[in-house]
Amino acid sequence: MQAVGVCTWTFGPLPLEQIASRLQHLGFDGVELLGELPLEASKVRAVLDSHGLRLFSLTPANVDLAHPDPARRLEALDYYHRLLDFAAETSCPLVSCHGAVGRFAPLATQAQEWAWLVEGVSQICSYARALGLTVVFEVLNRYETHLVHTAEEALALLSQVGQPNLKVLLDTYHMNLEEANLPAAIRQTGPHLGLFHLADSNRRGIGEGHTDFAEIWGALREVGYTGPLILEATAPGPNPFTPVKGAGYLETLEADLSKSLRWLRARAQ
């Protein structure tokens, strides 16, 4: 049965112990952990192990690999190196990275910032390769970042970075905004697909929007993706940069997660 997890970011400021307890109760297999360093590897492992959860992947805090200021780029690289060290300590096989969230336009030129992104991701992959880890680059929509919006652009990044341990992370919520055809984008990514996020068109759980998940499921099977499926849904409400949508957001989130898990379990046999 294909493993299903949840990104801990979706629970907002809840301590990991509480998130793990909720996910265990809902019947999930594991988590994608928000990499808010410093994290203590032994404590994270103890919490997850005590709730029977696996650590599938790490999603980064918001740093900027393509900033015109060299000090900001070095700061971002240092963060990723520490995140990769943590991943190695916790035996977490996948670490994701992406462009700066909330920056919608270049501060230098698009071409220059793309070059800085290629340089930074290449260095991250080299560091990860020495640790035996895989890096997955997450494709975000244009309202969250100005770099890498489509599967085609992600594949161009992979080609220019040229590191064998770099894969693509596709997310159905972002794809809904950027891809003309979601299943076609999955097929185009093919063997380069390293991780898959799911949320409906409105970033809620499966079935709460208009995304055709049956077609997406078929495309995932066609390309042979057998990695974890990570739900990154949120309750409805303003401000896409926080999952905390007001009173009752956790109850709505958990109802959506439970419904989504049932949909996936029915197909992931």
The pLDDT tens digits of the residues spanning 158-195 come to 999 999 999 999 999 999 999 999 999 999 999 999 99
In angstroms, the CA 227 to CA 224 distance is 9
What pLDDT is stored for residue 1 in this prediction?
79
224-269 per-position pLDDT tens digit: 999 999 999 999 999 999 999 999 999 999 999 999 999 999 987 6
The two most distant CA atoms of the chain are separated, in Å, by: 49
At 9 the pLDDT is 98
Q: Which of 138, 144, 179, 208 is the catalytic position? A: 138
- Look up 75 and say whether it is catalytic: no
Average pLDDT, the chain: 97
pLDDT of residue 268: 75
**Which pLDDT score, from 0 to 100, does residue 269 have?**
66
What pLDDT score was predicted for residue 167?
98
Percent share of the chain, pLDDT over 70: 100
Q: What pLDDT is recorded for position 22?
A: 98
The share of the chain scoring above pLDDT 90, in percent, equals: 98
Q: Where are the beta strands (DSSP E) in 36-133?
A: 54-60, 94-97
Instruction: Give 169's contacts (C-beta < 8 A, 6+ positions apart).
Output: 96, 98, 136, 137, 138, 139, 194, 195, 196, 197
* Cα separations in angstroms, 169 against 21, 45, 80, 210, 238: 27, 24, 17, 21, 25
The radius of gyration of the chain from alpha carbons, rounded to an integer in Å, stands at: 17
> Cβ contacts of residue 46 below 8 Å, gap of 6+?
none
Which CATH number belongs to the domain containing residue 252 in this structure?
A: 3.20.20.150
152 is catalytic: no
Phi, then psi, of 31 in degrees rounded to 5: -135, 155
Our measurement of the distance from residue 159's CA atom to the centroid of its chain's CA atoms, rounded to an integer in Å, reads: 20
Residue 149, domain extent: 4-266
Query: Choosing from 113, 144, 208, 232, which is the catalytic residue?
Result: 232
Number of structural domains found in the chain: 1
